[in-house]
Structure 1
Amino acid sequence: MRLLRHRPAPPAPASPGDVLARAEAVHVRLGSRPVLHGVSVTVRAGEVLALVGPNGAGKSTLLSALAADLPVAGGTVRIHGRPAAEWSAPELALRRAVLPQSAALAFPFTVEEVVRMGRAPHAVSPAEDDLAVAEAMAAAEVTGFAVRPFSALSGGERARVALARVLAQRAPLLLLDEPTAALDLRHQELVLRLCRERARAGDAVVVVLHDLGLAAAYAHRVAILRAGRIAADGPPAEVFSERLLSEVYDQPVEVLSHPRTGAVLVTPKRNL
């Protein structure tokens, strides 16, 4: 018989538009180096918010600050309306789930054991845990290698297992750092569809992306970071302009409309 320790209760379901996380004039330093400079951003239930920008712009740092995994030097991060520091670790684990850029384990856990780690914050029945794990593995398409050691997987397979762990956690705020970086085309689309599905179900999703095409296709809102500041924040169709993106990335780009759907397409200008 599994012994259930006392754990805090999960939050009540959010309504569309509820603010689940907010950075208010946040400053972050890594060592002696300032990385974020007065950044403000709001994360709402029912939305996918993509953080984009060039390398070193502060995307992952902002995500870590929103997750309360990184202390801020100034400003405030609020999660579910309260300053992040006021939540205990178990309370935070019921409110936000974090997918880091890379996942490494020192012990030979199986895929299913790794995904089951996402259930650690919950004090529910084993049957409910089993269901959450099974649904998460199916969504991430990792059920077929549930008994394989995590260490024996390819980089893309590990990334999907790590995502399944986050899904199994069933927190209303998902914070994903470059979840598509190691994935092939099919699984990149799968991951972003899952993000939209979670938002449609009422969760808030923040995802760091390098692929502007994916951000334009799947994000409800995009925050463009440049040198630790927000250069623009809004729907992709409004903030993805040729002038701004060319300036931010120091690379000429074209912003086009898809000939059939009218969706925003972003492509570098190339002289071939």
Structure 2
Amino acid sequence: MRLLRHRPAPPARPAPGEVLAEAVRLRVRLGGREVLRGVDVVVRAGEVLALVGPNGAGKSTLLAALAADLAPAEGVVRVHGRSAVEWTAPELALRRAVLPQAAALSFPFLVEDVVRMGRAPHASSPAEDDLAVAAAMEATEVSAFAGRPFSALSGGERARVALARVLAQRAPLLLLDEPTAALDLKHQELVLRVCRERAREGDAVVVVLHDLGLAAAYAHRVAILHGGAVAADGAPGEVFGERLLSDVYDQAVEVLPHPRTGALLVTPKRNL
């Protein structure tokens, strides 16, 4: 019989549109450099918010600040309506789940064990944990190698296992840093479909993306970061303009409708 340690209770399911995280006049300095300069952003239940922008724009820094993993120099970050610093670590773990860019482990854990780590914040029964772990592995298509060592996987397989761990945590706020970076075409689409499904079920998802096409297709809202500030924030169809994107990325960009579906397409202009 397993003895359950006293742990805080999970939060109630959020209402549609409820603000689960926000940054207000956020300034962050790293190594003497101001990485974020007065950023305001709101994350709501039921939506996928994509953070896009060129390298060094501050996307990962903003994600880390929203996760309460990085202290701001100025401004405030709120998680579930309270200042992030007011939550204990166990309370935060029940409210937000974080996927970092790199997925590394020092010990030869099996895949299923890695995914099960996502259940650590919960004082749930083994049966509940088993269901959550199985559902997360199925959603990310890693069930077939549940018994393999994590260290024996390819980079893309590790990325999907790391995402499964985050899903198994079942926090209502998901913060994902470049979850598609190591993935092939099929699994990039899979990950973004999972993000949409979590939003459809009422969670809030913040995802850092470099692929503007994926952001246009799957995000309900996009925040374009440039030079540590938010250059635009809104639905992809509202903020993905050729002039703005070309200026932000210092690269000529075309934004046009798909010839068959009318969906928004974003591509660099090329002279081959």
**Could you tell me how far apart the structure 2 residues matched to 1:28 and 1:50 are?**
20
**Could you tell me how far apart the structure 2 residues matched to 1:144 and 1:12 are?**
33
* Matching of residue 218 in structure 1 with residue 244 in structure 2: no
Secondary structure, counterpart of 2:12 in structure 1 = coil
The Cα of 1:259 is off from its aligned counterpart by 1.5
The equivalent of 1:148 in structure 2 is 148
Task: Give matches, 1:96-135, under 5 Å.
Answer: 96-135=96-135
**Could you tell me how far apart the structure 1 residues matched to 2:69 and 2:129 are?**
25
**Could you tell me how far apart the structure 2 residues matched to 1:30 and 1:152 are?**
35
The Cα of 1:114 is off from its aligned counterpart by 0.2
**Could you tell me how far apart the structure 2 residues matched to 1:255 and 1:143 are?**
38
Structure 2 residues not aligned, in runs of 5+: none
Secondary structure, counterpart of 2:232 in structure 1 = strand
**Could you tell me how far apart the structure 2 residues matched to 1:255 and 1:202 are?**
30
The Cα of 1:29 is off from its aligned counterpart by 0.6
The Cα of 1:119 is off from its aligned counterpart by 0.1
Read off the aligned partner of 1:155 and give its amino acid letter.
G
Task: Give matches, 1:1-272, under 5 Å.
Answer: 1-272=1-272
**Could you tell me how far apart the structure 1 residues matched to 2:69 and 2:246 are?**
32
Question: What TM-score do the two structures reach when normalised by structure 2?
Answer: 1.00
Secondary structure, counterpart of 2:186 in structure 1 = helix
Deviations, residues 194-230 of structure 1 (Å, cap 9, x unaligned): 0000000000000000000000000000000001000
Read off the aligned partner of 1:147 and give its amino acid letter.
G
The Cα of 1:31 is off from its aligned counterpart by 2.1
Deviations, residues 104-163 of structure 1 (Å, cap 9, x unaligned): 100010000000000000001100000000000000000000010000100000000000
The Cα of 1:260 is off from its aligned counterpart by 1.8
The Cα of 1:262 is off from its aligned counterpart by 1.3
Deviations, residues 86-117 of structure 1 (Å, cap 9, x unaligned): 00000000000000001110001000000000
Secondary structure, counterpart of 1:94 in structure 2 = helix
Secondary structure, counterpart of 2:76 in structure 1 = strand
Structure 1 residues not aligned, in runs of 5+: none
The Cα of 1:245 is off from its aligned counterpart by 0.1
Number of residue pairs matched? 272
Q: How well do the aligned residues superpose, as a CA RMSD in angstroms?
A: 0.4
Deviations, residues 179-208 of structure 1 (Å, cap 9, x unaligned): 000000000000000000000000000000
**Could you tell me how far apart the structure 2 residues matched to 1:17 and 1:241 are?**
26
